[in-house]
Amino acid sequence: EAGVVQSPRYKIIEKKQPVAFWCNPISGHNTLYWYRQNLGQGPELLIRYENEEAVDDSQLPKDRFSAERLKGVDSTLKIQPAELGDSAVYLCASSVTDGDFEAFFGQGTRLTVV
Amino acid sequence: AQSVTQLDSHVSVSEGTPVLLRCNYSSSYSPSLFWYVQHPNKGLQLLLKYTSAATLVKGINGFEAEFKKSETSFHLTKPSAHMSDAAEYFCVVSNTGFQKLVFGTGTRLLVSP
């Protein structure tokens, strides 16, 4: 069974440029999460989707970050414009709907803003 | 608010010796607690979870953890380290199952031959 797939794996951009990350969750998983992991830290939740609805986006910096999950499957996380402090690993995870089911993580996208 | 504190940023052991990774938690409610492992260039993998059943939880690859409410601890142990155990380990707390995981800062386990 394929796991959570993220692309690209690495991205280097100049500050003030836009960037987008893509996530394909495990088939049949209705819940999708985006986490951000700063260097030397644990991941922090940015947003959680149940199907196509964002049910928890309280930690998403909405002035520059946006996310969408069209048709309740794939998801895209966008940053515009990027700042130096956005350099981090962006992780996508998915699970069967219901909090008791394990969340499976992708390998992440490492973003470097220069 | 809930949080976890991983008491060691790095732990070094020799292959074949016991592993102890320490974690203390803070939660206003009865928490769920997890340990995740992150190998280089790989996704986070769940090792084990505690969800108010047995206080001694067994996970994959010979790891186990004991929930101690009186000490607010959830330390991860393994009787004998293997070279393949070298990785970053995260202690995680949640009041909502897997819906909102709160991660610690991680402990890097180094295993020497």
pLDDT per residue of chain B (113 residues) written in tens, 0 to 9: 889 999 999 999 999 999 999 999 998 788 899 999 999 878 899 999 998 778 899 999 999 999 999 999 999 999 999 999 999 999 999 888 778 899 999 999 999 99
The residue assigned the tokens 């592993």 is: B19
Chain A residue whose CA is closest to B47:
A102
Cβ within 8 Å, pair A56-B99: yes
According to the model, what pLDDT value does residue A101 have?
Answer: 81
* Pair of tokens at residue B37: 């492992």
A109 touches chain B (CB under 8 A): no
A35/A33 Cα distance (integer angstroms): 6
CB A74 within 8 Å of CB A23 = yes
Strand A109-113 vs strand A10-13: parallel, antiparallel, or unpaired? Answer: parallel
Of the partner residues A3, A99, A108, the one whose CB lies closest to the CB of residue B99: A99
Q: Is A84 strand, coil or helix? A: helix
According to the model, what pLDDT value does residue A1 have?
Answer: 64
CB A77 within 8 Å of CB A90 = yes
Please write the tens of the pLDDT for every residue from A10-66: 999 999 999 999 999 999 999 999 999 999 899 999 999 999 999 999 999 999 999
Quick one: what percent of chain A has pLDDT higher than 90?
89
Q: How would DSSP label each residue in B43-111? A: --EEEEEE-SS-SEEE-GGG-EEEEETTTTEEEEEESS--GGG-EEEEEEEESSTTSS-EE---EEEEE
